[in-house]
Amino acid sequence: MAIAGRKPVDTDVEILLFQAVRELLTNVAKHAQARAVSVVISGSGGNVRIIVKDDGVGLDNVIISDGRQTSGFGLYNLSERLRYTGGHLEAESGSWGTRITLTVQFGEG
C-alpha cells in the first residue's frame, strides 16, 4: 500500500491490515445489525490510519476495554498484533455504533 509521496507499507503489515479490515467487516455483518459501514484509509505524519465505522448496536464495553471475545480475531488479539508492528488499535462504541481505528507507521521501503 502506498500513499502519494510516501514510503510504502511493509508487506507483512499490508497483510495484517487486510486481514484486520476483513475481520472487522465480517463482524459488522454478523453482529452489528448495522445499516451502513464505512472504511476510510488515510496517511499523515508517517502513519497509515484505517477507520472502520458502523451504525450498528455497538460493542459491549468489556470487549473494548480488555479485548475479551469468544470467537474470531478478537480486538485484543488484533491490538497485540498491531502493537508488535509498532501500531495500535483504538475502539469506541455507543448507541451510535462502533468505530475501530487501526494505525501503523509507514515501512522503510
Nearest to 104 by CA among 28, 37, 38, 13: 13
Q: Is residue 27 part of a domain?
A: yes
Higher-pLDDT residue of 104 and 10 is 104
Nearest to 107 by CA among 7, 12, 3: 7
Q: Is residue 66 part of a domain?
A: yes
CATH number, domain of 31, equals: 3.30.565.10
Note the pLDDT of residue 97. Answer: 94
Q: Is residue 46 part of a domain?
A: yes
Average pLDDT over residues 89-103: 93
Q: Is residue 99 part of a domain?
A: yes
The total of structural domains in the chain comes to 1
Q: Is residue 4 part of a domain?
A: no
Q: Are 24 and 41 in contact (CB under 8 A)?
A: no
Average pLDDT over residues 80-109: 87
What is the per-residue pLDDT across 53-78, written as a single tens digit (0 to 9) for each? 999 998 875 455 555 554 444 788 88
Q: Is residue 6 part of a domain?
A: no
Domain region containing 25: 11-105
Q: Is residue 2 part of a domain?
A: no
Q: Is residue 76 part of a domain?
A: yes
